[in-house]
């Protein structure tokens, strides 16, 4: 990571669970010096303790970036001690679900540059996708810095307004769980058709993973890829007539699922 401002002024990571550890591993792997990273975590893992970062020590007065990765319910206790860093040059990047930008502005000051991010769990293997949006104080420079940090664990997209975060939660934030459940149900269906459970699960996981990799690499969109593997009056068409039913199939079910996740995100943000 070649950002000299981060290396010079330091990066603070508040919370180092699964997501924080994935990001830290990505930064260090890109060349960020461990000595320029300060980590606050009440229960540091053995892996974290071996990384050579400044762990649970006094923080720099004005770090370049503070990345907040604590659980939302811990935010009220963890953030106020960093209030002295607010209203300055320090950029706060939050990956905490359900915590709006306004909370950071109220706690740290209205002139604090804040970028809110919504990653997802494939970030643990650097295959995630993260959506970001900044407050009025955070200009292009802050968004560029946040994107550089978060690209260590996958793709980064920018939103035009914070209200879109809840839709992102419904699609990509919670989305990996939908895919894992589809793997489960595909395996269940294969078992019901006579396959051994282990084989059915292996087929389901490899099929979903392979289809996803193909979609990422192909110039065709998913709709065209679906057409490409659907022979008229064949087995795939017979299955898709069930799955694409507008009343009981994937279209209606997925709309309800994504809406439920998005609405829950709004409820969490509103307390």
Per-residue pLDDT of the chain (271 residues; tens, 9 = 90+): 556 677 668 999 999 988 899 889 988 888 889 999 999 999 999 999 999 999 999 999 999 999 999 887 788 888 888 999 999 999 999 998 888 999 999 999 999 999 999 999 898 888 999 999 999 999 999 999 999 999 988 999 999 999 999 999 999 999 999 999 999 999 999 999 999 999 999 999 999 999 999 999 999 999 999 999 999 999 999 999 999 999 999 999 999 999 999 999 888 877 6
Cβ burial, residue 29 (10 Å; 0-12/13-18/19+):
exposed
Check: CB of residue 250 under 8 Å from CB of residue 240: no
* Both tokens assigned to 20: 């924080």
242 is in an annotated binding site: no
Q: Does 52 carry a binding-site annotation?
A: no
**19: annotated binding-site residue?**
yes
Beta bridge partners of 12: 38, 66
Known binder of ligand: residue 110? no
pLDDT computed for residue 3 by the predictor: 62
The predicted structure's pLDDT at residue 75: 84
* Bridge-based pairing state of the strands 114-118 and 128-134: antiparallel
Give me the domains of the chain, ranges plus CATH numbers.
4-165 (3.40.50.720), 173-269 (1.10.3730.10)
**Closest of 69, 133, 137, 79 to residue 108, by C-alpha:** 79
pLDDT score at 81? 85
Taking Cα atoms as reference points, which of 35, 53, 33, 36 lies closest to residue 44? 53
**Around Cβ 227, how many Cβ atoms within 10 Å?**
9
75 is in an annotated binding site: no
Pairing of strands 114-118, 91-94: parallel
Q: Is 171 annotated as a binding residue?
A: no
Was 15 annotated as part of a binding site? yes
Instruction: Provide the 3-class DSSP secondary structure of residue 58.
Output: coil
Would you state the structure tokens that stand for residue 23, as one six-digit string? Answer: 């990001």
Q: Which residues have CB under 8 Å from 10's CB, separation 6+?
A: 36, 37, 38, 60, 63, 64
68 among annotated binding-site residues = no
Is 183 annotated among the ligand-binding residues?
no
CB contact set of 21 (below 8 Å; sequence gap of 6+): 45, 47, 48
Query: Any binding-site annotation on 18?
Result: yes
Identify the pLDDT of residue 2.
56
pTM: 0.91
């Amino acid at each position: 990571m070649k950002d000299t401002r981060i290396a010079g002024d330091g990066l603070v990571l508040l919370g180092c669970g699964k997501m924080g550890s994935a990001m830290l591993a990505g930064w260090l792997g890109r060349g960020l010096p461990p000595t320029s990273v300060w980590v606050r975590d009440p229960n540091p893992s053995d892996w974290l303790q071996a990384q050579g970062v400044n762990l649970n020590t006094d923080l720099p007065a004005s770090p370049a970036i503070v990345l907040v990765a604590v659980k939302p319910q811990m935010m009220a206790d963890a953030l106020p001690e960093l209030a002295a860093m607010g209203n300055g040059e320090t950029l706060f990047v939050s990956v905490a679900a359900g915590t709006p930008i306004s909370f950071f502005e109220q706690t740290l000051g209205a002139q604090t540059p804040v970028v809110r991010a919504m990653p997802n769990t494939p970030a643990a293997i650097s295959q995630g996708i993260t959506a970001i949006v900044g407050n009025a104080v955070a200009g292009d420079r802050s968004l560029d810095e946040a994107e550089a940090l978060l690209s260590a664990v996958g793709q980064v997209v920018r939103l035009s307004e914070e209200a879109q975060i809840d839709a992102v939660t419904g699609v990509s934030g919670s989305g990996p769980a939908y895919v894992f459940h589809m793997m489960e149900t595909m395996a269940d269906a294969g078992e019901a058709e006579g396959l051994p459970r282990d084989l059915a699960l292996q087929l389901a996981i490899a099929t979903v993973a392979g289809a996803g990799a193909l979609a990422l690499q192909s110039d065709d969109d998913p709709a065209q890829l679906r057409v490409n593997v659907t022979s008229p009056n064949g087995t795939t068409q017979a299955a898709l007539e069930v799955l694409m039913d507008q009343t009981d199939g994937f279209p209606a079910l997925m709309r309800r699922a994504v809406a439920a996740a998005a609405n829950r995100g709004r409820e969490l943000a509103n307390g």
